[in-house]
Amino acid sequence: MEHRVPCPHCGGSVVMYRNPAPTVDILIHEPGRGIVLIRRRNEPPGWALPGGFIDYGESAEAAAVREAREETGLDVELTGLVGVYSEPGRDPRHHTLSVVYAARVRGGAGAGPATGDAAPVAGGGIAAPIAGDDAADARFFAPDDLPQPMAFDHAKIIADWLRARGCCPEHAADRA
């Protein structure tokens, strides 16, 4: 769909298109801990992968790292592309196109700035996610024990990621 608007500089006609909004989602996985999910503070409700809209002038990769930090307090390293999801009904608010990245934790709220490594926690683990920005809660979940309800198409994204790693969602605990 297109419509015309006047150019603010010359007054001529400029074609504007109604396009999907570009977003990112981040599948943060740590072996033995699981996948980081956030409980959304805003509509639509539910648990989701950390993510959000790409700012004008920002790369998708930079947006993914920023959104992970804002919503979970974790510094992440992107490890690969999970996929691009663009089903028009995936977000009930409006049509979005999401670039989904896999990531691992590099550090977090308690991480030392000198190393950039994740801060140790009791039991020799890594920093725990801390909810921030649009997140009311943030924590690790085993891939075969996801909370409900899941927002958007994020259960499908996680299932696709598990299948790409050679694991069906029903046996995900074996690979967490």
Q: How many domains does the chain have?
A: 1
> 58 is written with which tokens?
């920002």
Instruction: Summarize pLDDT for 85-141 with one digit per residue, the tens.
Output: 999 999 999 999 999 999 999 976 544 333 334 444 444 557 889 888 888 999 999
Classify residue 34: in a domain, yes or no: yes
Give me the percent of the chain exceeding a pLDDT of 90: 66
Contact 133, 70 (CB under 8 A): yes
Classify residue 32: in a domain, yes or no: yes
Q: What pLDDT sits at residue 108?
A: 67
Q: What pLDDT sits at residue 111?
A: 44
Classify residue 9: in a domain, yes or no: no
Q: What pLDDT sits at residue 122?
A: 42
Mean pLDDT computed over 7-30: 93
Q: pTM (2 decimals)?
A: 0.82
| Whole-number Å distance between alpha carbons of 5 and 15 | 7
Give me the percent of the chain exceeding a pLDDT of 70: 85
Classify residue 104: in a domain, yes or no: yes
Q: What is the domain-level CATH number for residue 129?
A: 3.90.79.10
Q: What pLDDT sits at residue 16?
A: 85
Mean residue pLDDT of the chain comes to: 87
Mean pLDDT computed over 32-40: 95
Residue 171 has pLDDT above 60, yes or no: no
Q: What pLDDT sits at residue 107?
A: 75
Residue position matching structure tokens 């409006």: 94
Domain holding 68, by residue range, is 22-109+120-168
- Number of Cβ within a 10 Å radius of residue 151: 20
Classify residue 27: in a domain, yes or no: yes
| Cα distances (angstroms) measured from residue 71 to each of 14, 149, 162 | 37, 19, 23
Backbone angles phi and psi of 125, in degrees to 5? -85, -155
Classify residue 93: in a domain, yes or no: yes
Classify residue 61: in a domain, yes or no: yes
